[in-house]
Amino acid sequence: MTTLELTTPALLVDARALQHNLATMAAALPGARLRPHVKAHKCVALARLQAAQGHRGFTCATIREMEGLAAAGLGDDLLLANEVLDATRLGRLDARVTVAVDSPETIAAAARGGVREVLIDVNVGLPRCGCAPADAGRLADLARRSGLGVRGVMGYEGHVVGLDDRALRVAKTAESMELLRAAHREVGGELVSAGGTGTYDVNTWATEIQAGSYALMDTAYARLGLPFRQALSVLATVISVSAGYAVADCGLKALGMDHGNPAIAGTKVWFCSDEHVTFGTGDEAAIAVEGEAPDAPKDGSALRAGDRIRVWPAHVDPTMAYHERALVVSGPQVVETWPIDLRGW
Ligand SMILES: Cc1ncc(COP(=O)(O)O)c(C=O)c1O
């Protein structure tokens, strides 16, 4: 099958770009130095490729992701890097399970649910989960008294990972990791878990990096000049053409939009609505059309209803979660279909 035969919108994963990204990251952060975050793709097939690169531990954001990886035999070392108040489903998993805790309530829930190991989640500057650094030692003592093993600390510098300016990323990561290391001195344990795609080579303090977006990438991370290629696009069909603009059948129900509009190479996206993306076809537009030579883009005025184009999402994680399956492509050939099987909660 080729991309000309697919029902659109269709989520495409470029096999070569993905392979490049996986290999590049595995060379930079081999084995347990990377704990890939599966929330970025929610796909067991892709997690298997990451495991094949040597990363046997995974980071998850939901209980469903933990369950899916355990059922797939990828449960050597699963971290739920998120707080839960009912850990019963985690306690039942046939896997090594570690869960983030940041309060007496989440510690009690872990113990009650039959979880054996925790990380103390520390707020390192992102106003989301995580205890105050000064409380980490006290919480670790409470966890141990509750019968839990404390493997160390985690602290996600999510307010830093997307900063364009590398020098600023370095300085802000250092500040955040100073807080995490101070907490770690009070907590003990072998793990200091932190980081994301934007700080994978900047965060030299963490023992493991939780990057996820690197595998598929998006336009927001592409701005940072990282050595990872955009592997994820949404194939769309042009459904209407007017003077100066055209519309394709891929809107905000097929694209994560919280990082802004998607991109279409060779033109400017005007806006998205539920099932539409509207983009310019004026004088400057030169748009790559599926099935035509990639180095011979069409003038905007030559675009016709029925032409197919690739739309590049601004945020990989929610884009993946909107789709039931991804089609792995090599050029125009569809080589595999992957269910996005870790969706839901
Ligand atoms: C807890 C946690 N760790 C790590 C990440 C890193 O992800 P990314 O690779 O997208 O930077 C995220 C993303 O939001 C996260 O929530």
Digit-coded pLDDT (tens) for 194-207: 999 999 999 999 99
Which residues does 70 contact at the CB level (< 8 Å), separation at least 6?
78, 93, 94, 95
Share of the chain above pLDDT 90, in %: 96
Q: Is the pLDDT of residue 257 over 90?
A: yes
Ligand 1 contact, 155 CB (< 6 A): no
Q: Is the pLDDT of residue 312 over 80?
A: yes
How many angstroms separate the CA atoms of 162 and 91, rounded? 34
**Ligand 1 closest atom vs CA 213:** 9
Element spanning 205, H or E = none
Q: Extract the tokens encoding 234.
A: 């949404």
Ligand 1 contact, 25 CB (< 6 A): no
Quick: pLDDT tens for 52-72.
999 999 999 999 999 999 999
Which residues does 280 contact at the CB level (< 8 Å), separation at least 6?
244, 245, 267, 268, 270, 300
With residues binned 3-state (H G I as helix, E B as strand, rest as coil), the percentages for the chain, rounded to 5, are 30, 25, 40
pLDDT band at 225 (very low <50, low <70, confident <90, very high): very high
Q: Is the pLDDT of residue 253 over 90?
A: yes
CB atoms under 10 Å from CB of 217, counted, come to 23
How many angstroms separate the CA atoms of 181 and 203, rounded? 12
Ligand 1 contact, 46 CB (< 6 A): no
At 99, the amino acid letter reads: V
3-state secondary structure of 110: helix
pLDDT band at 283 (very low <50, low <70, confident <90, very high): confident
| DSSP codes joined into one string, 219-243 | HHHHTTT-S----EEEEEEEEEEET
| DSSP codes joined into one string, 8-73 | SSEEEEEHHHHHHHHHHHHHHS-GGGB--BGGGT--HHHHHHHHHTT--EEEESSHHHHHHHHHTT
Atom 6 of ligand 1: nearest residue by CA position: 196
pLDDT of residue 344: 96
- Residues 221/228, Cβ–Cβ less than 8 Å: yes
Q: Select from 199, 224, 223 the least CA-distant residue to 211.
A: 199
Ligand 1 contact, 197 CB (< 6 A): yes
- The structural domains of the chain, ordered by start, are 3-11+229-339 (2.40.37.20), 30-210 (3.20.20.10)
Quick: pLDDT tens for 228-252.
999 999 999 999 999 999 999 999 9
pLDDT of residue 284: 87
Quick: pLDDT tens for 115-152.
999 999 999 999 999 999 999 999 999 999 999 999 99
Q: Is the pLDDT of residue 294 over 80?
A: no
pLDDT band at 293 (very low <50, low <70, confident <90, very high): confident
Ligand 1 contact, 198 CB (< 6 A): yes
How many angstroms separate the CA atoms of 328 and 340, rounded? 12
pLDDT band at 191 (very low <50, low <70, confident <90, very high): very high
Q: pTM of the full predicted structure?
A: 0.97
Mean pLDDT for the stretch of residues 77-86: 98
Q: Is the pLDDT of residue 20 over 80?
A: yes
Mean pLDDT for the stretch of residues 251-259: 96
> pLDDT averaged over the chain?
97
Ligand 1 contact, 211 CB (< 6 A): yes
**Ligand 1 closest atom vs CA 199:** 11
Atom 14 of ligand 1: nearest residue by CA position: 158
Q: Which residue has the higher pLDDT, 294 or 290?
A: 290
Element spanning 143, H or E = helix 136-145
Quick: pLDDT tens for 144-184.
999 999 999 999 999 999 999 999 999 999 999 999 999 99
Ligand 1 contact, 212 CB (< 6 A): yes
